[in-house]
Amino acid sequence: MRKLPILIVLLTSSAAMADEPNPISSTVKGSYERVKKFIIGAADQMPAADYAYKPTPEVRSFGQLIGHLADANYMFCSAAKHEKLAPKNIEKTVTTRDALKKSLAEAFAYCDAVYAASTDATLKEAAELPFMKTSKFGALDINVAHDNEHYGNIVTYLRLKKIVPVSSQGRE
């Protein structure tokens, strides 16, 4: 029975997108906003004392994941913006919950402007990441994928701490 409401939402969204002047950039912006909300929510949910938490010694701590995401957002969005930024090294230099949340918010604010300025036409522009040449769309799309990948890690950390992630709240 749940499939019918989902199908209606998808058909309604598709019809609405047909009238959208920039359907590709609008879609990538929407995906970015969704995962950004989840990551910020997770950063808020995790208690300060658990920012150093590592499920195993071989993986990043929760705080390092948040720092890594801030660093990566700057990298991907600066490539899409055609701007050379010196690496911030947030993952390796920022350790407190408040400072990491501030760094993450600043990185997302930097990206917000890049996504907001994007149109379907500008997404075709060339962009260069440290590891590949791509398009502006490629850089922004990889950013969304990377954010989602690490949000999956974050969900595991939250679950191990008996915290329901933002993306699951209301469904459990």
**Three-state SS for 95?**
coil
- pLDDT higher than 60, residue 6: no
pLDDT by residue (tens digit) across 27-41?
A: 999 999 999 999 999
pLDDT by residue (tens digit) across 62-82?
A: 999 999 999 999 999 999 999
Residue burial 55-72, b: 16+ Cβ < 10 Å; e: rest: eeeeebbbbbbbbbbbbb
pLDDT at 17: 53
Q: CA-CA distances (angstroms) from residue 51 to 66, 105, 159, 162?
A: 9, 16, 14, 14
Q: In 3D, which of 86, 132, 83 has the Cα closest to residue 111?
A: 83
Instruction: Compute the average pLDDT of residues 112-119.
Output: 98
Domain architecture of the chain: domains with CATH: 24-165 (1.20.120.450)
Instruction: Compute the average pLDDT of residues 11-35.
Output: 80
- pLDDT higher than 50, residue 108: yes
How does residue 172 score in pLDDT terms, banded at 50, 70 and 90? low
**Three-state SS for 126?**
strand
pLDDT at 136: 98
Q: Tell me, what DSSP letter sits at residue 71? A: H
pTM here is 0.88
